[in-house]
């Protein structure tokens, strides 16, 4: 019992519960204006009605489809471009300035441009999510390859290993560690790009619902949608962490007790 109470999960859950109870109490005592800060019970009611009425499902499908496609496409594009730039100096001269510029500016400001080019449907949301993820993955892969010890590369070449051997035995393991370390951020970026794109212009999706809630000054619906997005992103974080533990098992092997 004592071990369970001292666990991190229990302390975090207790802190969250206390915060919600305090919020509820302040709202019921009228110390917080329910128009601007509706109590958690009201937010829960709104969230329940979204699922009970069934209207949320098409919006969830739209957001998840765009986010997952953008995430996967961004991972592929970032890995391919990162490897190409790290292993081909001529390509690096062309790609690195572009990626630096894209990384320097807030990429979400490209959302209106993608809407103009690709319309308000799925393509513009996927494009924005792809750009956000691809730039992050590009630098992760590029840094992972550049971080490889040059002495190790020279030893592999001395023993007769060609480029394929270097990529398979040296570069890929190094890049995997860097990539998995940034996967959680990439998941968040994919959802950020999708929701922002839907917020700018869309006919469905969680971003569209957020824009509707904002235009009608519906704070309860806004908070419910934000919580919903947070829950789904945290679930994907958990999946990515399990994948990281599987691919990088050597990082989590505990030393035997002495």
Q: Is residue 151 domain-resident? A: yes
51 vs 170 pLDDT, higher one:
51
Number of domains composing the chain: 1
Q: Is residue 160 domain-resident? A: yes
How far apart, in whole angstroms, are the C-alpha atoms of residue 249 and residue 201?
Answer: 43
Q: Is residue 31 domain-resident? A: no
Residue 93 confidence (pLDDT):
86
Q: Is residue 85 domain-resident? A: yes
Residue reference for tokens 């110390």: 31
How far apart, in whole angstroms, are the C-alpha atoms of residue 149 and residue 161?
Answer: 16
Q: Is residue 9 domain-resident? A: no
Instruction: Dump pLDDT digits (tens) for 67-119.
Output: 999 999 999 999 899 888 888 888 888 888 888 888 888 878 888 889 899 98
Q: Is residue 133 domain-resident? A: yes
List the structure tokens of 243.
């994948």
Q: Is residue 18 domain-resident? A: no
Secondary element (H or E) of residue 235: helix 219-247
In which band, very low, low, confident or very high, does the pLDDT at 66 lie, cut at 50, 70 and 90?
very high
Domain with 77, as residue range(s), is: 41-247
Residue 90 confidence (pLDDT):
87
Evaluate whether 140 touches 182 at the Cβ level (below 8 Å).
yes
CATH number at residue 153: 1.10.3720.10
Report whether pLDDT(257) > 60: no
Residue 67 confidence (pLDDT):
92
Q: Is residue 176 domain-resident? A: yes
List the structure tokens of 123.
């393509």
How far apart, in whole angstroms, are the C-alpha atoms of residue 151 and residue 171?
Answer: 13
């Amino acid at each position: 019992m004592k071990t369970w109470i001292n666990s991190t999960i229990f302390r975090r859950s207790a802190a969250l519960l206390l915060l919600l109870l305090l919020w509820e109490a302040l709202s019921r005592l009228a110390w917080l204006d329910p128009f601007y800060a509706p109590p958690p019970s009201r937010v829960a009611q709104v969230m329940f009605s979204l699922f009970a009425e069934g209207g949320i499902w098409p919006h969830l499908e739209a957001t998840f489809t765009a986010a997952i496609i953008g995430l996967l496409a961004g991972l592929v594009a970032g890995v391919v471009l990162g490897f190409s730039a790290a292993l081909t100096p001529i390509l690096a001269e062309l790609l690195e300035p572009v990626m630096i510029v894209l990384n320097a500016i807030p990429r979400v400001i490209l959302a209106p441009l993608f809407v103009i080019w690709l319309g308000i449907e799925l393509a513009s949301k996927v494009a924005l999510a792809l750009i956000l993820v691809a730039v992050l993955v590009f630098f992760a892969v590029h840094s992972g390859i550049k971080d490889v010890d040059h002495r190790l590369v020279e030893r592999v070449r001395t023993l007769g290993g060609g480029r394929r051997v270097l990529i398979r035995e040296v570069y890929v393991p190094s890049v995997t560690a860097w990539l998995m370390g940034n996967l959680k951020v990439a998941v968040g970026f994919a959802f950020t790009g999708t929701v922002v794109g839907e917020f700018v212009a869309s006919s469905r999706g969680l971003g569209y619902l957020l824009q509707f809630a904002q235009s009608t000054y519906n704070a309860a619906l806004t908070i419910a949608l934000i919580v919903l997005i947070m829950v789904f992103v945290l679930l994907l974080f958990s999946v990515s962490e399990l994948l990281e533990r599987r691919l990088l098992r050597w990082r989590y092997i505990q030393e035997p007790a002495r």
